[in-house]
Amino acid sequence: GQQVMQIPQYQHVQEGEDFTTYCNSSTTLSNIQWYKQRPGGHPVFLIQLVKSGEVKKQKRLTFQFGEAKKNSSLHITATQTTDVGTYFCAGVSNSGYALNFGKGTSLLVTP
Amino acid sequence: ETGVTQTPRHLVMGMTNKKSLKCEQHLGHNAMYWYKQSAKKPLELMFVYNFKEQTENNSVPSRFSPECPNSSHLFLHLHTLQPEDSALYLCASSQVGTAGTGELFFGEGSRLTVL
């Protein structure tokens, strides 16, 4: 089945530094979604990318979808303590719509 | 408040107990999901229901039995679980169309501990 790999597993940065997490799939994805889960919380949707080479921005967050639609990245500029949490990418499973999640990247930001 | 409500929030059970997790969505979505989240395998897809029909079962042991009586309710029946089944069980819903699924809305989760 479709596998979604994420790196790094953990990242610890000082507040103000940038952060990037990468997502790679073994197969071509029809689309990819990103979620954030705060400690003790549940995953919350951030964005969906559909088109090859697509780039979307949400304030300090920049999301990219690779040209081959097999990889994606999330970049956070000038991290803040409110960015702490685990960031997951998710690709579509064999059913055609259910999402398989990567293992996530846990971000810790220290002031 | 995400529109997806899970009960109970916490559950402790012995290996011989039978219990059920409940999920209800108030978003009018046509698909519902069970995910298992543990330290070893974060966000592992278990079951998928679309219009009450089970469309995916990711090789989940039979001690987990899902039930979807209608498009708004989803249950996970638990029987003779093992300690390694202790995890956070997350329910989610989404609207599935011809272009695939929209965003998933997750419930707060049910934290299960098996003694």
Asked if A96 has any chain B CB less than 8 Å from its own CB, the reply is yes
Identify whether the C-beta of residue B96 lies closer than 8 Å to the C-beta of residue B83: no
pLDDT tens, residue by residue, A8-58: 999 999 999 999 999 999 888 888 999 999 999 999 999 999 999 999 999
Asked if A99 has any chain B CB less than 8 Å from its own CB, the reply is yes
pLDDT tens, residue by residue, B74-113: 999 999 999 999 999 999 999 988 777 889 999 999 999 9
Instruction: Choose, out of B2, B43, B59, B94, the residue to mutate when testing the contact with A (most A CBs < 10 Å).
Output: B43
Q: Using CA atoms, how far apart are residues B88 and A36, in angstroms rounded to an integer? A: 16
Q: Using CA atoms, how far apart are residues B37 and B35, in angstroms rounded to an integer? A: 7
Which DSSP symbol is given to A15? Answer: T
CB contact set of A11 (below 8 Å; sequence gap of 6+): A19, A21, A105, A106, A107, A108
Q: Is B48's CB within 8 Å of A103's CB?
A: no
Asked if A30 has any chain B CB less than 8 Å from its own CB, the reply is yes
